[in-house]
Each structure stands twice: as C-alpha cells, then as structure tokens.
Amino acid sequence: MNREPRRNEVGFTMIEMVMATVMLLSLAFLVTSMIISGTDAQRFSDRLGRVTEISQDILADMQRDLQAAVRVFDADTLGMSYRGRVAPWPQAVALASSKPSSIQVSSTFKKDVSGTEKTGNELLFARQAWSDSFTCTSGNAYRVDTYRVVYYYLRKEGVGPGKGSPHGLNLCKWVSEPLVNGAQVDAIADATDRTEVLKHLRDATPDDSGAKHSPLHVVWMVGEDPATSGTFRQILADGSMTTTPVLPRANPWEIEREVKLSSSGMLHATHYSVASNWSQGNQGTGRFAIANNTTASVGFPHGFEVQVVGPASARKVLVHLTLVSTNAKGLKAYYDAQVVTVVREG
C-alpha cells in the first residue's frame, strides 16, 4: 500500500541538487583559478628574479672590462678603421643598424637631439690583459704590457626583432687575441735582448714570477692608425718581426678572435632577450637614442645603448641595458638598468 512521505523525512529535490552541484562547481572553478593565478604569479616572480640576475651579471662583466680599458673607439675615422679590423665572425654577425657612439668631450649623458646624436648600440675598446716581466740572459729585466680588444654588439636571434615582437636579439662579446705594446718593445735598445723577449712572448715561457700566459704573436702600436704600416707587426719564430702578416693570417691585417673568451650569445639558453624597439614603452628602450623603427634598418637602438663623454683622462662610459623574457604565455618579465664606468686612456 502506498503511503505519503512524512514531513520530517530528509531528502533533496532535483532543483536543490542542481543548485548544490552548480555551487560546488563554481567553488571548484574559483579554487582552481586561484591556484593557477598563484602559479602564474610565482612563475612571473621567478622570471623577474632571473632576468635581474642575468642583467646584473652582464653589466658587471662589462664594467670589469671597462675598468681595465686603455682606449675606447668611437664613430670617428680611427674608430671605424679599428672596427673594420675585427676579424669576421660568420656565426655572430652584428645587426645592420649596429653603430658605435660618438665621443663628446664636453657633453653629459642625456637624450639625443637630432643632428648631434652621440648614442651607439655597440661598444669597442681595448683593455689591459696582463703585464709580463722577463729577465734576459744578459741580466737585463724588461716589463711589457699586453692588451685585448673587446667588442660588445647585438645580433639577431632567430628571425630577429620586428613589429609586435619585444625580443629577437642576443648580445655578443668578441674578445681578441693578446697584443703586446709596440712602444715598449721598441724601447728595448739591445737587439739581442729584444729578440729574446719576443721569443719568450711568442713561446709563452714562464715570466719572472713563474706565470705562463697565452702565446703572443702580434705587436701593436696602441691607438695608431691600423692602415699605417708598422701599427701591427707579427712576431716570427726566431724573435724577429714583420709588418706583413704571415699566412694563415689575413692580409690586410685583421685582429683575430680568441675563441675561448668570446661569446656568440651571452643570453644563450636563458629564455631572455635584449628588448627590441617594439617592446612596451615602459621597459626603457630608446631612453637615450632617437629610435628608428623601420624594418629595413632592423631598428635602432633596441635595448642596448652606449654613450661616451669626457676627456681622454677621464672618459665616462654609460651602458644602458634592457632584457625581456621570451615566454609565450603570462606576463613578460624585464629588467632595465644602466651603469657608468670611468676609463682613463693611456
């Protein structure tokens, strides 16, 4: 026999079950969204910390190099001549829009004005590598300084920068073979001693302290016109010198790259890029230079700017760097910083 349900019996109607299910699903969605948002925030925080670390490491590396610099090359005739002597690197070709800064002796760091631009997006200079002290069999002791040319510049990463893309750029560091101070070599009046010193440098025998350095093959008249005969001389096996480069060296003279010290991409495998001109405006690109966003020029200056001011006795070199993450999803982390280093040319 059928009976009616009692009033105090517990149960859910269909409508109540649907409402409860909707509420549970909504709560699950909210919790999931919060978890995803928290994960995204943590990932962004990690990217931000990493890009800060990488940027600071690169700028510190540049500062260490610049603190030992003896000559900064700019966009004048001499500087461009030295730039042309940098041995080509097919795996790390500079941007077509790459150019050095113009040194302004009496200027200050500021935004360029059309017609008097001084900002570049590359940096070429010579720094001291080491000093070598050597005592000849005659008992005479001599000290000579050695240098390396260092070249920081931008190159394309992948297809390169373009409209709508904040990245596509890598930073290269080209470091030269060691070069010995030609004026100091010529100051060794005794021909026998000079030959002995040159053989010691070429053969990389221990110096007076017992230290061994890289073999030296090139004598350099520091800062002289590279097109002038005698600015570069090659040390031969017998300790003599020749102004004509010997094969396999290129002729006319080129300054060769030290492979183990050079980097074709300082941002390799980091998931970060030098910011392009097409990055967000608040990321700092083009702070000093007048930006050129034409595709034909591949853009200028992007997130690497250099200004040089002051006299030779106290050059001030400003480097402005902006890096951005290359992640496809989520917020892009970036770091925008600049450093100033004083260089005393000698």
Do 249 and 256 form a contact (C-beta atoms < 8 A)?
A: yes
Mean per-residue pLDDT, 23-35: 65
- pLDDT tops 80 at residue 325: yes
Range of the domain at 40: 36-343
Mean per-residue pLDDT, 202-217: 97
Considering only residues 1 and 308, tell me which one the structure prediction assigns the higher pLDDT. Answer: 308
- Residue 313's pLDDT is what? 95
Place of tokens 């699950």: 28
pLDDT category at 30 given cuts 50, 70, 90 is low
- Residue 99's pLDDT is what? 96
- pLDDT tops 70 at residue 237: yes
φ/ψ (deg, to 5) at 64? -60, -45
- Residue 239's pLDDT is what? 97
Mean per-residue pLDDT, 45-49: 82
d(CA 285, CA 321): 8
- pLDDT tops 90 at residue 226: yes
- Residue 338's pLDDT is what? 95
Considering only residues 195 and 281, tell me which one the structure prediction assigns the higher pLDDT. Answer: 195
Mean per-residue pLDDT, 237-243: 98
Cα R_g (the chain), whole angstroms: 30
- Residue 295's pLDDT is what? 60
Residue 23 lies in a domain: no
Residue 280 lies in a domain: yes
Residue 66 lies in a domain: yes
- Region of 259 (left: φ > 0; alpha: ψ -120 to 50; beta: rest) is alpha
Residue 24 lies in a domain: no
Mean per-residue pLDDT, 95-106: 96
- Residue 306's pLDDT is what? 98
Do 56 and 337 form a contact (C-beta atoms < 8 A)?
A: yes
Three-state secondary-structure class, residue 125: strand
Mind giving me the DSSP string for 256-283? PB-GGG-BS-TTTTTTEEEPPTTS-GGG
- pLDDT tops 90 at residue 43: no
- pLDDT tops 50 at residue 181: yes
Considering only residues 20 and 129, tell me which one the structure prediction assigns the higher pLDDT. Answer: 129
Mean per-residue pLDDT, 184-192: 98
Count the domains in the chain.
Answer: 1
pLDDT category at 46 given cuts 50, 70, 90 is confident
Q: Enumerate the H helices of 7-70 as residue ranges.
A: 14-67
Residue 210 lies in a domain: yes
Mean per-residue pLDDT, 196-202: 98
State both tokens at 341.
């280093």
- With residue 80 as reference, give the H or E element that holds it: helix 77-85
Residue 4 lies in a domain: no
Residue 60 lies in a domain: yes
Do 86 and 174 form a contact (C-beta atoms < 8 A)?
A: yes
Three-state secondary-structure class, residue 324: strand
- Residue 10's pLDDT is what? 56
Do strands 179-181 and 218-220 pair parallel, antiparallel, or not at all (unpaired)? parallel
- Residue 1's pLDDT is what? 47
Residue 13 lies in a domain: no
- pLDDT tops 70 at residue 328: no
Mean per-residue pLDDT, 277-301: 83
pLDDT category at 201 given cuts 50, 70, 90 is very high
Percent of the chain with pLDDT over 90: 73
pLDDT per residue as tens digits for the range 301-319: 999 999 999 999 999 999 9
- pLDDT tops 90 at residue 4: no
Q: What is the mean pLDDT of the chain?
A: 90
pLDDT per residue as tens digits for the range 249-280: 999 999 999 999 999 999 998 889 999 998 87
- pLDDT tops 50 at residue 195: yes
- Residue 45's pLDDT is what? 77
